[in-house]
């Protein structure tokens, strides 16, 4: 597979790095000489220092032989024009454009194959959808969902007084009467796939796998019970904050006569939303767009704002300003004054771990969300990327077992799985189960697998290649 990427920023570089590790043929185009130099030093691929919206540059990059063309520069117009040129000059099966302007990405142009673009990916929309998903599940932690499966994956930072701290997984399993699996442990920026005698230490970041009901029971046991979220404070009225608020305030009942009667009869909405922003003009816009929200013109970094606006009786704070440090501070301070749950938007991947250590319930990384979204498109077919862990070193994959593959009819313990590979869930005929080594796989099964990103190709051969 060949992938041509325009833009060597954080998203383009991370995307290229993960695809290179999967033995994909990657060409990176970056107009900024310094960015191109940094990318060339970090990545084992061709890096072209030039404009991505030039037909000759695209030809030099080998776009004619590409399976995917991905434009992820910080300039919407460059991304759109690059894809249009590729559509007009080359026969690339799939073209993906990063578009920040909400008007472009939400206007329906993408659905009509505008300019030949197959997928438009908007970072703010992707981040907002991640936030909305966590709110719908109680904002206890971030959450990874799997299609058609009741299995979920969430993270947990182990505190000093946690029932997990300084105990082995076997000891924890005996005392916690809840079925769950610790799939990955991140410790000092290193990951491990644990065994029963692995001892959990304070500060460890655990990735847990269980069903939603079992997660509710587990979090109840560790002192983070799922609570009703109704009163929400959104700090930051930018595109992410606006989209989250719009979703929370949207009445999803049908627009027929019954729906109208229900809306008229219901005085209270599900959520009460306050939006705080320091830009007065933006506050006026939000007040007109979101009449059911209380829009407050204030700077949360000013002393006393939380107390003056009586935020302490809120259930959740969602900090989504353009300043990730401010988001972390606002989320941590909110927890200290009694707000039960917190979500903070960050740009740098390593800030997600810092946020968890500071007690932020759900850190959301724009970069990770974007890369995961694009990888789900690129990895089509029987092997689909769902989520990246450990700065992209590990991948969570949804794999369909082919009837003619090596894995079909073979017990898991007899499979020659790549190192650091774990099968955490199996879906068969609508039933989800946590498999053990004796479980025999069948064609048509779907398995959730965690493995190193360089193991994706061997796994594809194992589960979908011919026996």
pLDDT tens digits, 26-49: 999 999 999 999 999 999 999 999
Distance CA 354, CA 367 (A): 16
Q: Domain 2-121: give its CATH architecture.
A: 3-Layer(aba) Sandwich (3.40)
DSSP β-bridge partners for residue 69:
4, 95
Instruction: Tell me the backbone φ, ψ of residue 363, rounded to 5 degrees.
Output: -85, 135
pLDDT score of 259 more than 70: no
In sign, the C-alpha dihedral spanning 412, 416, 422, 426 is: negative
CB-based contacts of 207, cutoff 8 Å, min separation 6 = 153, 154, 155, 182, 183, 184, 185, 186, 389, 450
How does pLDDT run across 144-180, given as a tens digit for each residue?
Answer: 888 777 888 888 888 888 889 999 999 998 888 888 9
Distance CA 416, CA 402 (A): 16
pLDDT score of 398 more than 90: no
The two three-digit tokens of residue 342, written as one number: 């917190």
Distance CA 340, CA 428 (A): 38
CATH of 379-464, one of 3.40.1190.10, 3.30.499.10, 3.30.70.1450, 3.30.2350.10: 3.30.70.1450
Distance CA 74, CA 53 (A): 13
How does pLDDT run across 307-325, given as a tens digit for each residue?
Answer: 888 898 999 999 999 999 9
* DSSP conformation class of 159: P
Tell me the pLDDT band of 267, cut-offs 50, 70 and 90: very low
Grouping H, G, I as helix, E, B as strand and the rest as coil, residue 59 is: helix
DSSP β-bridge partners for residue 186:
191, 205
Residues 203, 222: contact at Cβ < 8 Å?
no
Highest mean pLDDT among 52-56, 138-142, 225-229: 52-56
> According to the model, what pLDDT value does residue 201 have?
93
pTM over 0.85: no
Other CB atoms within 10 A of residue 113 CB: 11
Residues 452, 394: contact at Cβ < 8 Å?
yes
Tell me the pLDDT band of 394, cut-offs 50, 70 and 90: confident
- Between β-strands 446-452 and 394-400, what pairing exists: parallel, antiparallel or unpaired? antiparallel
Q: Please, where in the chain does CATH 3.40.50.720 lie? A: 2-121, 231-369
Q: Please, where in the chain does CATH 3.30.70.1450 lie? A: 141-221, 379-464
Q: What is the mean pLDDT of residues 395-404?
A: 88
**Measured in whole angstroms, how far is the alpha carbon of residue 343 from the centre of its chain?**
14
Question: Can you tell me which residue has the tokens 């084992």?
Answer: 44
> According to the model, what pLDDT value does residue 109 have?
52
CB-based contacts of 187, cutoff 8 Å, min separation 6 = 201, 203, 204, 205
Distance CA 189, CA 439 (A): 33
Distance CA 70, CA 1 (A): 13
The two three-digit tokens of residue 11, written as one number: 């998203």
Instruction: Tell me the backbone φ, ψ of residue 248, rounded to 5 degrees.
Output: -65, -35
Higher-confidence residue of 118 and 226: namely: 118
pLDDT score of 253 more than 60: no
Grouping H, G, I as helix, E, B as strand and the rest as coil, residue 115 is: helix
**Measured in whole angstroms, how far is the alpha carbon of residue 213 from the centre of its chain?**
22
The two three-digit tokens of residue 255, written as one number: 């627009």
Question: Can you tell me which residue has the tokens 């005996």?
Answer: 174
**Burial (Cβ within 10 Å: 0-12, 13-18, ≥19) of residue 261:** exposed
**Burial (Cβ within 10 Å: 0-12, 13-18, ≥19) of residue 419:** exposed
Tell me the pLDDT band of 59, cut-offs 50, 70 and 90: very high
DSSP symbols for 353-369: HHHHHTT-SEEEEHHHH
Higher-confidence residue of 123 and 353: namely: 123
Distance CA 344, CA 22 (A): 31
In sign, the C-alpha dihedral spanning 398, 403, 406, 412 is: positive
The two three-digit tokens of residue 8, written as one number: 């060597």
- Nearest by Cα to 200 from 217, 190, 222, 185: 185
**CATH 3.80.10.10 is right for the domain spanning 141-221:** no
Give CATH superfamily name and number for 231-369.
Answer: NAD(P)-binding Rossmann-like Domain (3.40.50.720)
Residues 407, 401: contact at Cβ < 8 Å?
yes
């Amino acid at each position: 597979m060949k992938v041509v990427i325009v833009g060597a920023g954080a998203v383009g570089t991370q995307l290229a790095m993960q695809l290179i590790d999967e033995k994909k043929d990657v060409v990176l185009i970056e107009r900024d000489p310094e960015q191109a130099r940094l990318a060339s030093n970090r990545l084992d691929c061709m890096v072209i220092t030039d404009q991505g919206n030039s037909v000759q540059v695209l030809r030099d990059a080998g776009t004619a032989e590409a399976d995917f063309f991905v434009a992820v520069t910080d300039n919407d117009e460059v991304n759109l024009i690059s894809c249009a040129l590729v559509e007009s000059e080359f026969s690339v099966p799939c073209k993906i454009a990063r578009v920040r302007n909400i008007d472009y990405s939400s206007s329906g142009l993408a659905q009509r194959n505008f300019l030949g673009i197959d997928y438009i990916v908007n970072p703010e929309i992707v981040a907002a959808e991640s936030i909305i998903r966590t709110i719908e599940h109680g904002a206890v932690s971030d959450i990874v969902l799997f299609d058609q499966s009741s299995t979920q994956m969430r993270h947990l930072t182990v505190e000093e007084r946690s029932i997990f701290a300084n105990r082995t997984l076997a000891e924890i399993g005996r005392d916690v009467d809840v079925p769950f699996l610790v799939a990955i442990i991140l410790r000092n920026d290193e990951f491990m796939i644990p065994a029963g005698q692995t001892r959990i230490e304070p500060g460890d970041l655990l990735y847990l796998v269980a069903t939603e009901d079992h997660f509710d029971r587990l979090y109840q046991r560790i002192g983070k019970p799922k609570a009703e979220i109704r009163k929400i404070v959104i700090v930051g009225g930018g595109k992410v904050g606006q989209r989250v608020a719009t979703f929370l305030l949207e009445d999803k009942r049908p627009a027929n006569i019954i729906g109208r009667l229900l809306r008229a009869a219901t005085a209270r909405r599900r959520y009460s939303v306050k939006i705080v922003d320091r830009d007065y003009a933006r506050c006026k816009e939000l007040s007109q767009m979101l009449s059911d929200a209380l829009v407050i013109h204030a700077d949360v970094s000013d002393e006393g704002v939380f107390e003056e606006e009586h935020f302490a009786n809120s259930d959740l704070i969602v900090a989504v300003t353009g300043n990730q440090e401010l988001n972390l501070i606002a989320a941590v301070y909110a927890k200290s004054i009694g707000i039960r749950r917190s979500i903070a938007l960050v740009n740098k991947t390593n800030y997600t771990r810092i946020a968890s250590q500071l007690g932020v319930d759900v850190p959301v990384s724009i970069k990770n969300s974007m890369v995961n979204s694009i990888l789900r498109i690129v990895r089509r077919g029987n092997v689909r990327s769902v989520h990246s862990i450990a700065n992209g070193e590990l991948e969570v994959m949804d794999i369909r077992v082919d009837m003619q593959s090596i894995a079909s009819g073979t017990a898991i313990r007899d499979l020659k799985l790549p190192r650091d590979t774990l099968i955490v869930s199996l879906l068969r005929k609508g039933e989800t189960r946590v498999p053990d080594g004796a479980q025999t796989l069948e064609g048509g099964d779907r398995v959730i697998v965690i493995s190193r990103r360089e193991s994706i190709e061997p796994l594809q051969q194992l589960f979908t290649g011919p026996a």
